[in-house]
Amino acid sequence: MFYKSLNHKKFITTLGLVMMVLMASCTDLTEEVESEVTADNFFQTEEEFISALGDAYGTLTGIEGGGFAQVNEVTTDEIQIPARGQDWFENGFWFRVNTHTWTPDEFNGAWTFMYSGVNAANRLIFQFEEAVAAGAAEPSLADPIIAELQALRAFYYLNLLDVYGNVPIITSFADAPENPEQPSSDFQQGRQEVFNFVEQELLNSIPKLSDDVGSTYGRMNEYVARMALAKLYLNAEVYTGTQRWQDAITELDAIIDSGNYSLAASYLDNFAINNSGSPENMFVVPFDEVFLPGFSLNVMTLHYASQATYNFQSQPWNGWSGSQKLYEHYIMPDLNPGPQAEVFGIMPTADDIGLERVQGTVDDRKGNLIVGPQFSAAGERLTDGGVFAPEADLNGPPLTFTPFINDLQFSGCRQCGARIGKYEFENGINTSMNNDYVIYRYADVLLMKAEALWRLNQSDTEALMLVNTVRQRAGVDGFDELTADRLLGERMREMFFELTRRQDLIRFAGDEGPTEYNDSWKFKDVSPETRNVMPIPRVQLETNPNLVQNPGY
């Protein structure tokens, strides 16, 4: 049975308390947060050090619903948000995001999300070091916690490196510059320096971090830091032009050989309401509707009428949807249509709704998406009143979710789009879910190692075995060989809605077969490679004159 232990509850209670501080924060790079904690009245025990970590981890509560998910999910071919009448139109924002026609006015949320974490980590490191220097705290207690904060800061910088490339490196709190500069005015040189910083911070931290995965749930431990380092190495060629496949394997082997993690019996166990007992989840945000609210997938994705299905206290917003292509990949795993395949005509038939006419095994992970007729908790057939799109039948009763999406920009039908069902929806909740949000997971360790082995030797038998281990858990037949298309497709099925798709598409650019980040898909034309990093937000450029905009913007 899955559960949140008492220690987990204590940790998320601490995180919940610091949210009042975080919500009052501004988004300046040199943000200062006042604190009642001083060296002479705190930091006397390990528990006091741990309880003070809340600010640095509290930032992670914005990872799913804010700008970070926009960047890593909605800019890809697996998530689309149709403008259904005036709902979700937002002056064309979501259409621009999915079609790579965004402007520098967008994506400030992802920037402030990550720098808020950096700033909080810097402040706490400063406080802990001051306590040690003043003789008010024992170095033996402070050093592992400082290393944990440095590893967490490196995690934030890893994502800044991935999304924006050449960003200011700020490690000071008391002496932080008002207008920090990027490492170089040259984008690629600056990105290399950020890469070097993240690598060194993680390498320095790992020997000092706890290897006890039970007591560090939801925190940076040795293996979470190794996973971050493996992510850095797996994408090193994108970041620096130099491959680091073997280095990625070394870190992944350390995780595997530890024996601390294993695949859960069922894929969906990892995303259950009480998923803190999963043997597979390595790094999570331990959301809780009382102590740490903010995970609102239930209202973000489901139809207005779905309130009656789950007896929610609030009406859902009818927004985020899985793409038709994503749904097809669960049923036709070797589908490689290039540009989005038009399996449906403009008016889908009853058979088209679920694509059940396709022969072969059906992937258990198809449960990530909700399609078909919808019912109330009492078993009554739900209807969808109102007409927004010209294709009136697509909006009318009865309510049926279809993978088909007719339009993104103006007249998306209200029931078009498979809804995101990856995380179990709890009956009777409001707008905050109790499921822990998964950032790193052991299945990804296996798939990452398989890819690194395959890139070194495309006939590697261990790589094939690792991928087939993941496929076996999903209830589908194994592959007889690995190709770039199969690896990328398997990552799409397994890692859907885990913030990896953008990174995966960019990393597989140039490999024969798979659709790439810059290729066309339904509603999107080919985009330039300069879109592989986001623009530095205009508001940041206006605030800090030392920042240099990324190429192509």
DSSP state, 546? T
In a domain, 66, yes or no: yes
In terms of Cα–Cα distance, which of 410, 428, 453, 505 is closest to 252? 453
Residue 277 tokens, joined = 């007992």
Domain co-membership, 129 together with 89: yes
Does the residue 515 lie in any domain? no
* 273-301 per-position pLDDT tens digit: 999 999 999 999 999 999 999 999 999 99
Residue 419 sits in which domain range? Answer: 296-431
Handedness of CA 284, 317, 422, 66 (dihedral sign): negative
Q: Helix, strand, or coil here: 46?
A: helix
Put residue 154 in one of left, alpha, beta given phi > 0 → left and psi -120 to 50 → alpha.
alpha
pLDDT band of residue 45 (cuts 50, 70, 90) is confident
Q: By percentage, how much of the chain surpasses pLDDT 70?
A: 84
Q: Is the pLDDT of residue 546 over 70?
A: yes
Quick: pLDDT tens for 417-456: 999 999 999 999 999 999 999 999 999 999 999 999 999 9
Give yes or no: residues 163 and 36 share one domain: yes
- One domain for residues 51 and 132: yes
Question: Over 50: is that where the pLDDT of 355 sits?
Answer: no
> Is residue 422 situated within a structural domain?
yes
Do 177 and 98 reside in the same domain of the chain?
yes
In angstroms, how far apart are the furthest CA atoms of the chain?
Answer: 74
Quote the CA–CA distance of 17 and 286 in Å, as a whole number.
14
Tell me the two tokens of residue 528: 């330039």
Strand partners, 437: 285
Does residue 447 fall inside a structural domain? no
Task: Report yes or no on 551 lying in a domain.
Answer: no
Positive/negative CA dihedral, 237, 239, 242, 248: negative
- Residue 112: give its domain's CATH number: 1.25.40.390
d(CA 288, CA 345): 42
Cα 241–534–153 angle (5° rounding)?
A: 75
d(Cα 548, Cα 332) in Å, to the nearest integer? 45
- Asked if 340 and 254 sit in the same domain, the reply is no
With cut-offs at 50, 70 and 90, classify the pLDDT of residue 512. Answer: low
Indicate if 374 and 423 belong to the same structural domain: yes
Residue 359 above 70 pLDDT? no
Instruction: Please list the residues that pair with 419 across neighbouring strands.
Output: 321, 370
Q: Which are the contacts of 182, defined by CB distance < 8 A and separation ≥ 6?
A: 166, 167, 168, 190, 546, 547, 548
Domain annotation covers residue 115: yes
* Digit-coded pLDDT (tens) for 369-418: 999 888 899 998 888 753 333 344 455 568 889 899 999 998 898 889 99
Q: Based on the domain organization, do 309 and 281 belong to the same domain?
A: no
The pLDDT assigned to 385 comes to 57
Q: Are residues 195 and 343 in the same domain?
A: no
Out of 9-23, 122-136, 191-205, 407-421, least confident range = 9-23
Structural domain count of the chain: 2
Could you tell me if 334 and 356 lie in one domain? yes
Q: For residue 511, what pLDDT is reported?
A: 65
Q: Is residue 499 part of a domain?
A: no
Residue 194 and residue 56 in one domain: yes
The answer to whether the pTM exceeds 0.85 is: yes
Looking at the structure, do residues 381 and 419 belong to the same domain, yes or no?
yes
Domain assignment present for residue 347? The answer is: yes
- Cβ-based burial of 41 (10 A; exposed 0-12, middle 13-18, buried ≥19): exposed
